[in-house]
Amino acid sequence: MNILHIEWKTRIRSLIVWSLVVIVILGVFMAFFPSMQSSGMQDLVNTKMNALPQDMMKVLHMDSMADLTNIDAYFAYVFQYIFIAACVYAALIGAQALIKEETDGTIEFLYAQPITRSNLVFWKMVGNLLSFIAFWLITFGASVALILFLKPSGVDSGDLVMELIWVFSSELLVATVFMSAGFMVSSVLRSAKQASPVALALVFLTYILGIMAGLNDNVDFLKYFSPINYAIPSEVMDSGITGTNALISCIIIVVMVAATFILYKKKDLKI
């Protein structure tokens, strides 16, 4: 539990910074929604969307999206980019979790405590997962507040909140996939300086695979290697995350967590 306390204190600053940045960005983009209600803006948006090539619509995940003048559709379009950033954050804190102790030279202090490597990995995982869940709950609260404040009259608040619950719960599962992959990578990295590029690569390379799958039916199988595409907000609002994608996510998490324990036990630590 002492490890958990230390990990929480280490993460609190980045948690606050990421939460504030996401809330500000989300607030700025959602502030444009009321202007979408004017008939002139509706005609302009529909004209621009109809002029986009179908392939571009797929890349932007707008091919299955409803009218952007609806607040849930507008939020889904904006939030898909917030979701990518959240996946980067999840992968980053996972990739930094184990290696930063060696880079900072605090690994000796930890091993002076009566704790095994497995216990260290376990409490590191718990601490980082809790910090990400706190970030996700803050983002969820801000999203609910913004949508309820900006929603047009006549739109059911309960339905909007339920849609957000579906989106955030599905995306939390996917973000955990990236965090678990980050943990596995952290167990083999030699320096914390490698964590940021690795986290970015994990997210954006798999995201590109999803784009390729959407553009070319011959490589449609690549979508299963793109966790971000498991929980696109507009699709989750429409039909929820599929059972197949949820199962794949759970399998990846279990495999990555198990690999982290095995690899870290065998690692030669820089003490």
Model confidence at 188, in pLDDT bands (50, 70, 90)? confident
Model confidence at 243, in pLDDT bands (50, 70, 90)? very high
Model confidence at 3, in pLDDT bands (50, 70, 90)? confident
Mean pLDDT of 102-119: 71
Q: Is residue 71 over pLDDT 60?
A: yes
Confidence at residue 173, expressed as pLDDT on a 0 to 100 scale: 96
Confidence at residue 126, expressed as pLDDT on a 0 to 100 scale: 93
Lookup result for tokens 């909140």: 161
Structure tokens at 135: 């970030």
- Largest interatomic CA distance in the chain: 68
Model confidence at 245, in pLDDT bands (50, 70, 90)? very high
Model confidence at 240, in pLDDT bands (50, 70, 90)? confident
How far is residue 16's CA from residue 18's CA, in Å, rounded to a whole number? 6
Confidence at residue 53, expressed as pLDDT on a 0 to 100 scale: 64
Q: Is residue 122 over pLDDT 80?
A: yes
